[in-house]
Amino acid sequence: MTKSELTCEVKKLALNAGFEKVGIAVAGPSSDGVRLQEWLKKDFHGEMAWMAKDPEKRSDPTKVFPGVKSILVVAKNYYVPILHLHGTGKISRYAWGDDYHDVVGKKLKLLLGQIKELDSSIDGRCCIDTAPIMEKYWAVRAGVGWQGKHSNVISRDLGSWLFLGEILLNVDLEPDQPHADYCGTCDRCIRACPTDAIVSPYVVDSRKCISYATIEYRGQDLSPWKDSDFHNWIYGCDICQDVCPWNEKFSTPTSEKSFEPRLENINQHPEDLSEMSHEDFKKRFSKSAVKRTKFSGFVRNVRQLLSGKHSTGGD
């Protein structure tokens, strides 16, 4: 099988596996490594210590999977056209259904198995956002989309409601052209962020981000954000994506049943959520990304909303 034929077959398998976007990049050290180092030096990662662990490895996939020659990047659409209601505790769209780590991870493993069947000498490693790899950078290099000013990857035909996944392969495949940036002069996401977390185009200070505060931050005291408007978010935040014109024009409902929202994950009254027990939390958010914030963090978010500190905004 020629290089061109193998590339074509690999892409066909990826699309048949249910991924809407697929692209290929030549593996090597990332040119964004310097930007990562600068971002870390400014402590923009906050308490996410894992971001600062082995930054050299994070910016070089050859240190993650020795022998890697090509990076297959895929994207899975998760958009569901349901709006949050005013006055309810809001959970980010990506966490409405089953945990994407499980759904995308399973698809990636099956896809890698199918790719290996094309040639017995092929080997690879599957990655999602828990792996030390700069997946947004590689999505751009593989032509899947461009990194918007809010830092999320945007596709011209699907918008930014995308989960990314990568397979590091030890075989040479034909690379795609890196994607051009189509944000232009638009700065809606920057202006819409209520906490000014997008400190400059393409740069997010996580410590100011509502998603960071409601998910990654482990402290019980949310007073550092007391002057901010959380717009009723109790897990994550979609504001910068909601206002993006590419999403307004091109968002398409997902075909993935696993991402369909659980009723308990949308438009729930915070008073009801505040009475939740630890066992209730585990049952309600089993196999859901919401479990990342842990019971203590989730209840903290709900109680802070009820206190009135973060509830002045809404759709």
List residues with catalytic annotation: 129
Residue at token pair 């990332």: 30
The single-letter DSSP state of residue 174 is: P
Which token pair is 287?
Answer: 């196999």
- What b-and-e string marks burial along 122-139, b requiring 16 or more CB atoms within 10 Å of the CB? ebbbbbbeebbbbbbbbb
Q: Any idea of the CA torsion for 42, 48, 50, 56, to the nearest 10 degrees?
A: -20
- Give the span between the Cα atoms of 123 and 236, in whole angstroms: 36
- Give the span between the Cα atoms of 281 and 60, in whole angstroms: 38
Going from the C-alpha of 289 to that of each of 131, 220, 258, 297, the distances in angstroms are 16, 20, 12, 13
Going from the C-alpha of 131 to that of each of 51, 103, 141, 191, 229, the distances in angstroms are 11, 16, 18, 31, 32
Number of H-type helices and E-type strands within the chain: 13, 10
- Give the span between the Cα atoms of 215 and 156, in whole angstroms: 29
Reduced to 3 states (helix: H, G, I; strand: E, B; else coil), residue 273 is helix
Going from the C-alpha of 271 to that of each of 236, 263, 299, 302, 305, the distances in angstroms are 19, 16, 11, 8, 10
